[in-house]
Structures are given as C-alpha cells and as structure tokens.
Structure 1
Amino acid sequence: MTKCTMPSASFPRCKGRRIVASFDGGDVTSDGGILLLRQLDREMSLTRAVARRLTDERDPQRCHHRTQTLVRQRVFGLALGYEDLNDHHALRHDVALQTAVDTDGVLASQSTLCRFEQQANRDWAVAIHEELIEQFIRSFRKPPKKPLYLDFDATDDRVHGEQLGRHFSGYYDHYIFLPLFVFCGDQLLASYLRPASRDAAHHAGAVLALLVRRLRQAWPEVRIVFRGDSGFCRPLILNWCDRHDVDYIIGIAGNKRLAKRALDTDYASAIRFEESWEKQRVFGFIEYAAKSWNARQRKVIVKSETSRRGFNTRYVVTSLRGCSAEWLYDHRYCARGEMENRIKEQQFLFSDRTSCHAWWPNQYRLLLSGLAYLLLERLRRIYLKRTAFAQAQVNTIRLKLLKIGAVITRNTRTIRLMLNSQCSEQDLFLKLVSKLVPG
C-alpha cells in the first residue's frame, strides 16, 4: 500500500524556527567514500580473485547474485563499519553500495548472505589464505632485499553462544576462540581460527612452513626471520628454523637455570642503580640449552632492568648475529609490539564477529575481516604516504575518508554523488581519486 504521508518527528524550536525531521530525503548515503574502496578493489583484483577460488554449490539458474557480488558486498560492508548481516536488510538498497559492487539492482539480503556463508569449508579457508599470500607477493615490484620479519601472535576472540569449538579459558575468564595472526610489517599473511583448548603455538610451525615455502618459491634468496613471544618458543619450531635456514628472535620464559646464568647481567644492573637511583637497563648474551632442545646451545639475549620497583629480567632466544644485545632487543624483538596495533585493527573490522554455530563459517568471517583490512592497508601504505593519515588506524581512515554523506542521483547515463560540502578532507579525497582513477 502506497504511503501518502511520511511520519515525521518534531524537535524544540531553534531561533524561533520549527525543527522537523522525516525520512523523505530520497537516495542519501553516509558512505560516499565507498568509491575509493571500489577503485582499490579493482586495482588489486582482490574480491574477483577470491570469488574465483571459492566453490559455490548453488544452482546458477536460480541465483540472482554472483559469488563475486556476495563477497564484495560483505567486504565493503565491513570496511564501512557494518558488522552484522542484519545491517544488509536496509544496506542492500543503498545506491552507493550498489554502485561500488557494480550492480543496478537490489543487493543480497541478510538471509542470502547467511546461506552463502554456511557453505564455507576448509577449501574456502585455504583458497582465501592463498590469495592473501599472493597479494603480499604482488605488492613487491622487485624481490625484497631486506629480511622479511614474520610476526606471529594469538589473541582472544570472545564468544557468547554455543559455537562449535568454543572453550573456556581460565586466563581470559571467558569462552573464547584463539585465532592466530601472521603479519609482515603491516601486511596480513594469515588469519587462522583455532580453538582455545589447544596450545598458543598450535599449528604455528605448519603455518610458518607453508609461508616460507611459498615466499621462497617467489624469491629464492629472500631472508626470513620468525618473530614471536614466549608462547611460540617451542623445540619443534626452533629445530625447523635451524634446518631450513630461517632466522628467529623469540621470547623465552624465565626459569632457575636462566636466572643463574644471567646473574652477572643482573648484578651489573643492580650496581648501576645503587650508584644513581635511576632506572637502569643492562644487556648481555648467554649460551643456553633446554633439555627439550637435545642439549643444543642457543644464544639468549638477557635484558636486566632495575628500578625502585625491583628487578625485571627478560630473555629472548635468537639466531641473529653481528649486533649488540641491546640493539637486537630494542630494534628487532620489541618491534613485534607494533603487531598488537594490527590485531586491534582486525577487531575494528569485526574479526571477532564469529557468531555462527558452525566452525568454517566463523573462519570465513575472520577472513572477510582480513580482506577488508587489505583494502584499507593498501590505501594507507601506498596512497596516504606522507599525509596526515600515513600512520592512522583503519577506523580513523573509515571515519575521515569513507563515511562522507552524499545525495545520489542515478539515471540511464549518469550516477552522481553530491558529497557533503562541509567534508573536512575534500582536498585529500580529490587527490586520492586522481591517483586511483587512471587518467
């Protein structure tokens, strides 16, 4: 039935004027910057490549939405801040999103997207991970001359339902998944969902082996360094790295034997503190062989810190040579702390929205978040270099460059977005368009 009158809301007067609000503005979007994502996706061929790798069991004769359209709709939605499938009930009518996805019709509903996600399986996870690696390799014009530092870390992903694979963690005091992330610098290489009932390093060695094999297929001479905290200091990983010429710098948990060998470094730190009563840090090397290392001696960095709060001694096992212990600790091991910000950005893109009951759809959702991150990370790394947003997090980029209000008109010849005249980043937006759109 046609609505002859539009409901409206009234607010208190402003300077004697009535204030009336109603939803009769026509085609207006809050996501005018989505066209930047469209151009980035075209440049990278990201969603098209992913869609080609996925097996779709739907009957093509009965499908209104292609695999590529469904993947693109979800990835763009996450990048714009729409974490739930429910959001697409209204979002499917947004002309800006329809334009970005390259269609004139109504997009897929939440039920269609949900049914598509339920097809996810192990092959989908492998296929999308393969595309993540290929995107990383293609980001280099020439073989990298500097070492590639592969940062491994796990994080908690809280679950609030009866999802398969959930497990109660005493450390986090909640039911969680424990996904494994791998980054090289700011670039995502793996986003692997795991149950929290397993060790923090579960399958990390296998993931490392697969990454090293593919990277050395592309660049046989590349130097690779494995970096992680003490949760990844496992004999299996260390031995594999030694056999395959992969360097490592990994935290190691303290124990009585390490503390005994580090006494000289602790003593030097304490003496300096007593002389100045200011916090002191002293670094040194020791040789150490755990029983599980089959009596093999490895070099361990000792960082002894003494302050008014007492002693704080840390240990890092490494195969790197030719540098001081302090330089290796500060400039190589501590650099892994930047990965915490990258994991936080995954959460800004709703990597923790793993609310499906089945396992593989949740893995698929985790990877969709990773694909959205790839688009925004490339925008930052390539096109926002030497701008105020060169180090901005993805949620800031989303707010400033994607969430731009616009009025849309569409006819047979033209789709026009009349962007908000008061947008604070107009010059930067136009500059990005000039770089992204071929002359």
Structure 2
Amino acid sequence: MHKLRLLTILGAVTLSSLNSFALDSVANADPRGNITINQKTTPATNFVEISPAAYYHNLQEIRKMVGPNVKICAVMKSNAYGHGIDNLIAEALKANVDYIAAVDNNEFRLLSNRIKAAHKKTHLLRIAPVTKAELIEAQRGNWNVEEIAGSLEEAKMLSDTAVELSKKLGRKVIIAIHVNVETGMGRMGFRDVNEIKQAITLPNLKLVGIMTHFAKDYEDPPIDYTATRAQLDTFESVVKELNLDKSVIQHVANSGAAAKFPWARKDMVRVGSLTYGEDLDDRQDPHHVLQPVMPSFKSTVAIIERNVPPHSPINYDAMQYTRSDKPSTTATLRIGYYNGFPQYAFQESAVVLIRGQKFPVIGKTSMNMLVIDITDENQQNPVKLGDEVVLVGKQGTQQITWDEFAARNKMGIVEQVLLIGNQSPHVIIKDK
C-alpha cells in the first residue's frame, strides 16, 4: 500500500497511522487502506456507501442470466473495483462463485485466507502477468492461485520457478495455468499456436484453462459486433487445433460480452463491472435488475460564507467568479481532487445535493476543498454547518447518478468509482 506522508514539526506521520489514531473506535482498515466505518459511530467527513446485499443480489441475477452450466468468475481486482474486497468477499462465497479473479498478492493473501476460513473450494485466478517474486510468495503461502501464461517466455519462467521451488520445498510444485490467446486486445497473449503446444508440455505446469479478452464488446450502441465475433472465431480456431481435453475451461467473456453475447459465454464468464452494478446500458441490463453496490458518495458542509461580494474570484487561478448581480452565499466542503472529485468539474456544470436541493460547483477544485454556490438556498430550510452533501446518490426526491456524475466529469463510471472508492472511507449499509 502506498502511504501518503504528512510532514509535521514532529516528523512524518503516515495517513494510515493518522486514520488509526483518529478513528480507532470507529473503523477497521482493510489491507488496501480503505476504512470500513461502523454506522453506529460518527461517520467520516467524506465517504462512500457500500451495499454487500446489492453485490450478492447482482451475483444471483448474473447466475440467472448465464444459466447453471456456465461458471462465474467474480473479478475483484483493484480492491474490488474500489468497493473493498473485505466488504464483499463473504457475499461472493455465499453466492458460490466458481472463481474469484484478482491481480496482486495483497489481494490473494486476503482472498485465500477468507476462502479457507469459509471451507470453500473457490478457485483463484490472477488476471495479469505474474512476477517471479509474486509467484514464489503465492506458492510458499499455498494460496492456490492459478496463473495466466501469455507467452512462451512467461510459461518457461512459470515452469522453471515451479521446478526450482520443488527442490527447495521438498515437494512437487505444480502451477495451474490458463493460456491467454492474443486475438485482438494486443497487450498479452500467445500469437503462435505452436508456442502454445510447447508451453503446455513444460514440466510442473498443468493446463486448466484457455482464454482471450475482447477489445470492443462494451460499445453501445455496438458499432462493431464483427470485431468481437472475429476475435471469438480466432480463439475457437486455436482451441480446435490444440484439441484440448474437455476439462480445460474456455473463457472469453467479460461483463459486456457476458450480458450482450450469449454465444460468447463458453464455459465461464469473467464479470467485474456487472457485479458492481456499474457501467450499465439497456443492452447489458435490459430489465434494470442490477443494483449499484456503491450507491452514494457523500461529504459534509465545512464552511458557509454569506454576503460574498459580487464578482469575487473562487479558488485557484480565479477561473470562475461569483455572480455579478448580488452578493453570494458559498459552502465549502472538505473534499477535493485527492478524494477523486475532478478539478474542472465546474466547467461541466457539476452539482451536489444539500437538503434535497441541487447546487452548482463553483471554481476549480482544490486538493482537499470544493466550493458550492448556495445563494439560491431555500430560506425556509437554509444550509447549515455539518449538513450532509450528496455528490452521488439520492437525497429527498432528488438524485445524482454515477452516470450523470461521470459524464459531467468526462470519465467512465468504472474509472470514477474505482478512483473515489479507493480514496474514501467505506460505510457499510445494511440490508433493508
């Protein structure tokens, strides 16, 4: 975990130690640094709400969608897309997913421990190239991580390391691998079927899966189905030439393909954003049955300034001024681009909700502060210090969706949720 260091006259204090000091009776930090807050205590200044119940619901709906004969690989990389692995792992295991995919060893250590504690047989898959150091740690820890082989050179490294570890540990180490076939993604994968044939015969490797990854299946409306179909055709021709045992799992579909293309589901689907209720269009969720696992992003009013003179500059670079016709009232939130709120949100007419009313962001976002123009507040229900501010979510009869928030900030929903989720404390909302 990267630790932001705050310099004080007494020395350097890590953010994690500050959190531990300030929230000792309030929160539990997960291995990636996110904080899960007990709702019975005072919440943090800024936080996102996480619904494990929504995650479980989505997994159940995905099971209905793909049917009982298709395996589900729940992708929980990048700390469950910012939602917190530790917040959701129990729901994934309760839903009996077949595989859980992640990337780094901190994630696999946690996942492996939870799976063993629950006495489950859920498989773990690393969906990225592994370094030798990571491989050794995972094997020594008996985490049972299955690795991807995306080139002959990588397969040889996996094989050589397994042979080396077998000698050191006094037991035969066999690494389960999934061969990745390059069909159009262009970032990792075998391009030569003869090299695949060599790789799967290397000592101390066991082929358990073969896969590829689509590059254009998320487009909506889909402008190039033919590209996705062509990738699948390439993959299928490789599989046919290899004449693999039927026990080898074939998997190609990520969330977009799993939802839109039944013909791409094969033996298993790898679903990430779909499980979190993100990035959904009518083709992915035609009946709108999926629920956002991070339904809200919230802050609080820290400062209120009344009678701000007309045409006063706001924040860095004076890129925006208060109205010219009369004095303004502004509210400052202790939230900024450090927390994932974009610097230039004001240029996209970004708004927030306070007391059920929408108010515009004004001026450039600072690292830790954001200014809101509340001049038009309801005088019968004025904004007060400490008021809840909803940046994403519902308040009263009003709502700001992740789709609206991300569009105004010129980012994809997945990217926005990931950034904000991994920079914000997590408040767990219980099943209603």
Same fold (TM over 0.5): no
TM-score normalised to structure 2 length: 0.30
Looking at CA atoms only, which structure, 1 or 2, has the larger radius of gyration? Answer: 1
What TM-score do the two structures reach when normalised by structure 1? 0.29
Higher helix fraction (1 or 2): 1
Higher strand share: 2
